[in-house]
Amino acid sequence: MPYTRRSFVTSSAATGAWLALGAPLLARADDTVELPFANGSRQLAAYPQKRALLVMTTRPVQLETPFSVFDGNVFTPNYAFFVRWHLAGVPTTIDPVAFRLNVHGLVARPLSLTLRDLRHFPTVEVDAVCQCSGNSRGFFAPRVPGGQWGNGAMGNARWRGARLRDILRHAGVQSSAVQIRFRGLDAPVEAGTPPFLKALDVDRAMSEDVIVAYEMNGEPLPLLNGYPVRLVVPGWYATYWVKMLSDIEAIDHVDDNFWMKTAYRIPATPGGNVDPAATGFATVPINKLTIRSFITNLTDGEKIAAKPTSVQGIAFNSGAGIKRVEFSSDGGTSWSDAALGRDYGNYAFRPWSTRFVPKAGTSYVLACRATGNDGETQTNLAVWNPGGYLRNVIETTKVSAA
């Protein structure tokens, strides 16, 4: 639903009222979803501009996409897109005319850009998966602290905006700059909580595909997904995709703020894996997505008819693109190639489909395994690290045929 600036202001005024109340629209207290791990019961609630989503927390608002949304939707609708904020001080209204994106620090020419200014840079579009670093954290064994997401803290959208590189070149980043640091309009609610800041090395920030997006799936971004602009870092975890982006600073050092130096670190080990008993290992900031694939049209425990059944799903990786998806109906003992669907580019969900013929009175463990053009694939052993990051084990779906 396209809306004008004026109607956005009106609808975000309504947003303000609801967020201030902390009260979801449309929710019935008995509407819950059970995620398949201990303490996985989630209430469904519809926040402003959103359909009913699984509530993980309300302050800050954290909402998970029901997994069924991924079936048949290569693009995750804005109203169904997951929501994650770290700090509860999220603005409930934003004036698009007064909004400024400031660029400062080690630049020849500090900028204060309006939304109209941003549209004067060449427009680019990318289809890319935005996945929380902690997506699927609830499946970690042993369990780890942090948001207990199922598999729905991800989404694929068509992002449209200006290249970050064009903005930075316009400002003239000085050669002494080491990183570019990003901040949004959200703020901590308690003194002592660090503001949410993320930083990219200058060459990552200057790469062609990083954009400052003002549209998501052909519409302004929903407020909860970062209206009016957010950073899009295709192929990298969503923690870098700073929402309500208002401040870009070129700095002369590797950022040592809490969200870079302490949080969002992965072990500097092969695959980011460590033994749960390990301590004292070196870490690096989380970065590229790991390759994943899912079956979307059948759910675990489902009873299906004993007749030819189509199976479909999605796969994605960090930008090499998907070379193949294999399917197994015997828990990974034997595999056959699935057919890949339309290619929306190397950062997007790649749909796939296949068929199998279940026999009556038989149980099946269905599995899918994606391989990237770079050879990266999924394995039977789940990664473990204390942050609950990088999960990409081969997922299984148990079904039985009647």
Ligand X SMILES: Nc1nc2c(c(=O)[nH]1)N[C@H]1C(S)=C(S)[C@@H](COP(=O)(O)O)O[C@H]1N2
Of residues 304-363, which lie at the interface with ligand X (CB under 6 A)? Answer: none
Question: CB 329: neighbour CB atoms within 10 A?
Answer: 21
Measured CA distances, 86 to 53, 59, 61, 75, 196 (Å): 18, 9, 8, 25, 7
Calpha distance 285→266 (Å, rounded)? 6
Calpha distance 94→142 (Å, rounded)? 42
Q: Choose the contact partner of 242 out of Mo ion, ligand X, none; CB within 5 to 8 A by kind.
A: ligand X
Shortest separation between residue 281's beta carbon and ligand X, angstroms = 22
Q: In what order do the strands lie in the sheet with 336-337?
A: 302-304, 396-401, 362-372, 322-328, 336-337
Shortest separation between residue 239's beta carbon and Mo ion, angstroms = 5
Residues 12, 15, 136, 225: which binds ligand X (CB under 6 A)? 225
User: Is the Cβ of residue 239 or residue 296 nearer to ligand X in the bound state?
Assistant: 239
Shortest separation between residue 255's beta carbon and Mo ion, angstroms = 17
Nearest residue to 368 (alpha-carbon basis) of 346, 337, 322, 400: 337
Q: Choose the contact partner of 241 out of Mo ion, ligand X, none; CB within 5 to 8 A by kind.
A: ligand X
Is residue 224 a contact point for Mo ion (CB under 5 A)?
no
Helix (H, G, I), strand (E, B) or coil at 351: strand
Q: Choose the contact partner of 389 out of Mo ion, ligand X, none; CB within 5 to 8 A by kind.
A: none
Calpha distance 319→180 (Å, rounded)? 22
Measured CA distances, 327 to 84, 266, 332, 349, 393 (Å): 32, 30, 8, 17, 14
Owner of token pair 């309504």: 14
User: Is the Cβ of residue 186 or residue 209 nearer to ligand X in the bound state?
Assistant: 186
With contacts defined by CB under 6 A, name the span among 207-215, 238-246, 292-300, 302-310 that binds ligand X: 238-246
Residues 177, 199, 242, 390: which binds ligand X (CB under 6 A)? 242
Shortest separation between residue 137's beta carbon and ligand X, angstroms = 11
Shortest separation between residue 364's beta carbon and ligand X, angstroms = 33
**At residue 305, what are phi and psi to the nearest 5 degrees?**
-80, 150
Is residue 47 a contact point for ligand X (CB under 6 A)?
no
Give me the residues paired with residue 33 across strands: 42
Is residue 132 a contact point for Mo ion (CB under 5 A)?
yes
**At residue 177, what are phi and psi to the nearest 5 degrees?**
-70, 135
Q: Choose the contact partner of 274 out of ligand X, Mo ion, none; CB within 5 to 8 A by kind.
A: none
With contacts defined by CB under 6 A, name the span among 2-10, 76-84, 104-112, 355-363 that binds ligand X: 76-84
With contacts defined by CB under 5 A, name the span among 108-116, 130-138, 162-170, 315-323 that binds Mo ion: 130-138
Is residue 130 a contact point for ligand X (CB under 6 A)?
yes
Q: How many residues bind Mo ion (CB under 5 A)?
A: 5
Residue ranges of alpha helices (H) inside 2-138 are: 5-21, 115-118
Is residue 196 a contact point for ligand X (CB under 6 A)?
yes
Is residue 63 a contact point for Mo ion (CB under 5 A)?
no
Nearest residue to 105 (alpha-carbon basis) of 55, 51, 177: 177
Q: Choose the contact partner of 42 out of Mo ion, ligand X, none; CB within 5 to 8 A by kind.
A: none
Helix (H) or strand (E) holding 292: strand 292-295
Over its C-alpha atoms, the chain yields an Rg (Å, rounded) of 21
Is residue 132 a contact point for ligand X (CB under 6 A)?
yes
Shortest separation between residue 388's beta carbon and ligand X, angstroms = 12
Shortest separation between residue 147's beta carbon and Mo ion, angstroms = 8
Measured CA distances, 135 to 64, 87, 265, 292, 387 (Å): 9, 18, 15, 11, 11
Shortest separation between residue 173's beta carbon and ligand X, angstroms = 22
Question: CB 335: neighbour CB atoms within 10 A?
Answer: 16
User: Is the Cβ of residue 62 or residue 293 nearer to Mo ion in the bound state?
Assistant: 62
User: Is the Cβ of residue 232 or residue 368 nearer to Mo ion in the bound state?
Assistant: 232
Is residue 286 a contact point for Mo ion (CB under 5 A)?
no
Shortest separation between residue 239's beta carbon and ligand X, angstroms = 4
Give yes or no for a contact between 139 and 149, defined as CB atoms under 8 angstroms apart.
Answer: no
Per-residue binding string, ligand X, 79-98, x by CB under 6 A, is: --xxxxxx------------
**Chain positions contacting ligand X, by CB under 6 A:** 81-86, 130, 132, 184, 186, 196, 225-226, 238-239, 241-244
**Chain positions contacting Mo ion, by CB under 5 A:** 84, 132-133, 238-239
